[in-house]
Structure 1
Amino acid sequence: MSRPNCEDYRQLFVNDTPLMDMRAPVEFGLGAFPTSVNRPLMQDSEREAVGTCYKKKGQEAAIALGHKLVHGEIKAERIAQWKAFCEANPQGYLYCLRGGLRSCITQQWLKEAGIDYPRVVGGYKALRRFLIETIEQVARQPITLIGGNTGSGKTIMVNELENGLDLEGAANHRGSSFGRYVTEQHTQIDFENVLAVSMLKKQALGINHFVLEDEGKTIGSASVPLPINSAMQQATLAIVDDPMEIRLTRLMDDYVVRMQRDFVAQYGEEQGWIRFAEYLERGMFSIRKRLGLERYEQLLQVQQSAVRTMQSSGSLEGHVGWLQPLLEQYYDPMYTYQLSKKSERIVFRGEYDEVKAWLIEKTR
C-alpha cells in the first residue's frame, strides 16, 4: 500500500526522515538538509541545457529535451540508484526544488520500475521556508546566554544542557581564529538548516527556553541568523569564571590534542602532522595585526617549536608557552572589553559547575 505525499514538515525533521534530493548537484551543494542525499534527475550540464531550452522554447520543448538527455543507459543507471535508496529507506521521501516536475517524473519512473515512493509537497523551497520560520519563532522565545573567557567550556556546557542550542556545532566551526575543523565548514544555508532542525527536536521535547553560547555576529564564515543575533543582544548572561589552568587544559585538548589526532586520521601520519602545524600557524597569522608583529613572531616561534617537540617526544608542555600568553594578552582582554558592554545583562557568575546548576534551575 502506497504512502501519501508528505506535508508534515515538522515530523520529517524531528524523525530524521531520509530524504532523496532530486535537484542538480550544484543546487544541492548550495544547501540541503541533514538527512538528505543527492540523487539528481539531471546533472548540472543537463539542467542548464533544459533551463536554456525552457526560456527560449517553453516547457514542452524543455521536457522533450530532458527526456532526450536522460534516456537509455543513463536513465536506467539513475533509476537503479533511486531504487537502491528507496529500498534502503522505505520510510523516506523524495523532493525537488518546488515539489513539481522533477519529483513527478522521478515518481513516475520509479512506479514503472515497481516502486511507489512519496514526495514532499512543495519540495525544497517549502522545507527551507519552514526551517526559516522555525528560527524566527525560536528567536521570540526566552533565551539565556553562557558567557566566559576562551576555554571556559561554554560549548561543552551547551551540549550538556537539555535546552542548549549549539551554534558552533551547527556551523561546524568553533568561532575563534583557531576554530576550524579538519572537515569543511557548513555553508550558510546548511548552518541554518542544521540549527533549525536542532530547534525542532528541542521543541518536540517541550523545551521553550533555550540556552546559547555568547557569540558574535559570525562563526567562522557563517553569519548567525539575524533574528537569533538580535535576540542575543537582549538576552541575559550567565558567566563562567574558571581558573587559567582549567581553561588551558580544555584548550590543549581542543586545539592541540584533538586537532592533531583528526589531521592524522584524515591525511595519514606525515601529511597529518604537516597540516596540523599549518592549521596552528594559520590561526596565529589571522590575528597577527592585533597581536603586533613582534609578539606574533615570538608566539609563532614558540608554537611551531612546540609542534616539533610534540611530534618527536609526545610532550604537550611546549604548547603552554604560546597558549597561555595568547589568553592573557589577547583573548582575555578582548572578551573583558566586550563583556563590559553587556554588564547590565549579567545575572549570574560562577565556576563551571555552579553556572550549569544555575542554568538547569532557572531555564527549565
Structure 2
Amino acid sequence: MATQLADYRHIFLNDVPMMDVRAPVEFGQGAFPGVINLPLMDDGERQQVGTCYKQKGQNAAVALGNQLVSGATKRARIEAWAHFARAHPVGALYCFRGGLRSQIVQQWLQNEAGIEYPRVMGGYKALRTFLIETTQAAASQCGFVVLGGLTGTGKTEVILQLANGLDLEGHANHRGSSFGHRVSAQPVQIDFENRLAIDLLKKRDRGYGSFVIEDEGRHVGSCSVPLELRQRLEQAPLVCLEDSFDARVERILHDYVVQQCADFVATHGEVQGTAMFGARLQESLGKLAKRLGGDRYQVLRTTMQNALLRQHSHGDPSLHRDWIAAVMRHYYDPMYAYQRQSRADRIVFQGDRSAVMDYLRESASADPVPLG
C-alpha cells in the first residue's frame, strides 16, 4: 500500500520537505513555507482536464490527462520529482485533497523511478485546515500582551529579542505603516496566515503559553490579522514602549530611508534602485496627503524631494530628518495619542526599552495579566 502521512503536527514542527504537485495557479493562491511546486499538470493542462471532467466525467478526464502528460513531458516531470525525492528522502508530496493527482505522482515515481515516496493524507486542504485550527486554538487558549508605542520606538526590535514574541511584520513582509512596504512583495493572505500559524505551533511546542505581539491593528500592509486572533488582541493587556523624539527620528531615518534605499539598490542596481526607492517614498507620503492637509503635504513633498536629491548626489540622507519629524508630529503622534487614550484602561506597564524588556521577560513565565 502506498505510504501516507497524517501527522500534520510533525510535518510542520520538523519542517518536513514537501513538494506540491498542484498546478502553479493553485500554488500561487496559497502554500506553505519552503514547499516546492512541481506540478503534475501546468495551468493550461489542468484547465483542459477540468473542462473534460465536467463535460465527460472522470474516466475521460484521466485519459486526457495521460495524453497531455506523456512522452518527453512526463519524463521531465518524473525526473524533477525523483530529484526532489532523492534530495529530501524524509519528505512528502501532496495535491489539493490527497487524491488522484498525488496518487498518480506517487505511482509514477514508484513505477518509473523506483522511488517509494509518501503523500500527505488529505493533501493541501487538510494541512491548511490544521493550521487554521492551530491559530484558533492559540487565540482561545493562550495569553497575549500587545506591545504598543509611538512610531519609531523600536517595537519590532523588542519583539525579535523575545523568545515568545510573534513578529507579524516579519510574516507579512511589511513594516506596518504607510511607509512600510519592503522591496520584495508581501505574501498572499493564506501564506501570511500559514507562516503565523506555524510560528505559533513551534513556540507552543517549546512550552510558551503566552505571547507578545506588536500593536498592528487589523492589517499589516495588505495582510489581515486572522479574525479570532484580532478579537483576542483587542481585549489583551497593553504595554507601551517609550523613547525620545530624537531617537525615534533617527530610527525611522535608518529603517525607512537608509536601509530601505540600500535594499532597493542591492536588488535593482544603483540607478534603477535609487529611482524606485525615491518613487516609493513619495508614493507613501502621498497616501497621507488628505490627513496632513494640502498645504502641509505640499511643503513636506518638496522637503522630501530635496532630501532625495541630496541623498542621491552627495550620499547624505540627513535632510530626510525634516519631513520625518514633521510627519511624526502632525500625523503619527496625534493618531497614537488618540488611540492610547481610548485604550487607557488596558495599559498595564510603560517604560523605556530596558524596563519593558525586563517586564515582558518576567511576565513570560507568569500567568497572563488579567484585565481589571
TM-score between the two structures when normalised by the length of structure 2:
0.96
Aligned to 2:348: 347
Shift in Å, 1:363:
2.2
CA distance, structure 1, for counterparts of residue 216 and residue 256 of structure 2:
19
What secondary structure does 2:180 align onto? coil
Aligned to 1:127: 127
- Asked if 1:161 corresponds to 2:174, the answer is no
Q: Unpaired runs of 5+ in structure 1?
A: none
CA distance, structure 1, for counterparts of residue 116 and residue 360 of structure 2:
49
Aligned to 2:118: 118
CA distance, structure 2, for counterparts of residue 168 and residue 90 of structure 1:
33
What secondary structure does 1:264 align onto? helix
Aligned to 1:8: 7
CA distance, structure 2, for counterparts of residue 293 and residue 324 of structure 1:
18
CA distance, structure 2, for counterparts of residue 172 and residue 251 of structure 1:
17
Aligned to 2:296: 295
CA distance, structure 2, for counterparts of residue 352 and residue 84 of structure 1:
49
CA distance, structure 1, for counterparts of residue 192 and residue 46 of structure 2:
26
Q: What's the % identity of the aligned pairs?
A: 51
Contact 1:17–1:35 (8 Å) recurs in 2? no
- Asked if 1:243 corresponds to 2:244, the answer is yes
Aligned to 2:38: 39
Aligned to 2:95: 96
CA distance, structure 1, for counterparts of residue 238 and residue 315 of structure 2:
39
Task: Indicate the RMSD between aligned Cα atoms, in angstroms.
Answer: 1.1
| 1:18-42 superposed Cα distances (whole Å, 9 cap, x missing partner) | 1100000000000100021100000
CA distance, structure 2, for counterparts of residue 154 and residue 241 of structure 1:
9
What secondary structure does 1:178 align onto? coil
Aligned to 2:152: 151
Shift in Å, 1:275:
0.3
CA distance, structure 2, for counterparts of residue 93 and residue 83 of structure 1:
12
Aligned to 1:85: 84
CA distance, structure 2, for counterparts of residue 87 and residue 263 of structure 1:
37
CA distance, structure 1, for counterparts of residue 185 and residue 2 of structure 2:
37
Aligned to 1:61: 60
Aligned to 1:139: 139
| 1:225-265 superposed Cα distances (whole Å, 9 cap, x missing partner) | 00010001100011011111221121111101111111001
Aligned to 2:321: 320
What pairs up with 1:232-311 in 2 under 5 angstroms?
Answer: 232-311=233-312
Contact 1:259–1:276 (8 Å) recurs in 2? yes
> In structure 1, what residue type is equivalent to 2:217?
G
Larger displacement relative to structure 2 (304-313 or 31-40): 304-313
CA distance, structure 2, for counterparts of residue 69 and residue 329 of structure 1:
61
Aligned residue-pair number:
363
Shift in Å, 1:4:
4.0
Aligned to 2:205: 204
CA distance, structure 1, for counterparts of residue 270 and residue 205 of structure 2:
44
> In structure 2, what residue type is equivalent to 1:256?
V
Q: Unpaired runs of 5+ in structure 2?
A: 366-372
Deviating 4+ runs (over 4 angstroms):
none
CA distance, structure 1, for counterparts of residue 159 and residue 10 of structure 2:
24
Shift in Å, 1:5:
2.0
> In structure 2, what residue type is equivalent to 1:126?
A
CA distance, structure 2, for counterparts of residue 209 and residue 4 of structure 1:
37
- Asked if 1:194 corresponds to 2:198, the answer is no
CA distance, structure 2, for counterparts of residue 91 and residue 297 of structure 1:
59
> In structure 1, what residue type is equivalent to 2:106?
Q
CA distance, structure 2, for counterparts of residue 258 and residue 81 of structure 1:
38
> In structure 2, what residue type is equivalent to 1:250?
R
| 1:272-303 superposed Cα distances (whole Å, 9 cap, x missing partner) | 00001011001101111111111111111111
> In structure 2, what residue type is equivalent to 1:298?
V
Aligned to 1:358: 359
Shift in Å, 1:3:
9.4
CA distance, structure 1, for counterparts of residue 354 and residue 250 of structure 2:
16
> In structure 1, what residue type is equivalent to 2:134?
T
CA distance, structure 1, for counterparts of residue 355 and residue 309 of structure 2:
39
Contact 1:149–1:332 (8 Å) recurs in 2? yes
TM-score between the two structures when normalised by the length of structure 1:
0.98
CA distance, structure 2, for counterparts of residue 292 and residue 12 of structure 1:
52
Shift in Å, 1:88:
1.4
Aligned to 2:369: none
> In structure 2, what residue type is equivalent to 1:266?
T
> In structure 2, what residue type is equivalent to 1:316?
P
Shift in Å, 1:89:
1.3
> In structure 2, what residue type is equivalent to 1:41?
L
Shift in Å, 1:338:
1.1
CA distance, structure 1, for counterparts of residue 215 and residue 110 of structure 2:
50
Contact 1:161–1:360 (8 Å) recurs in 2? yes
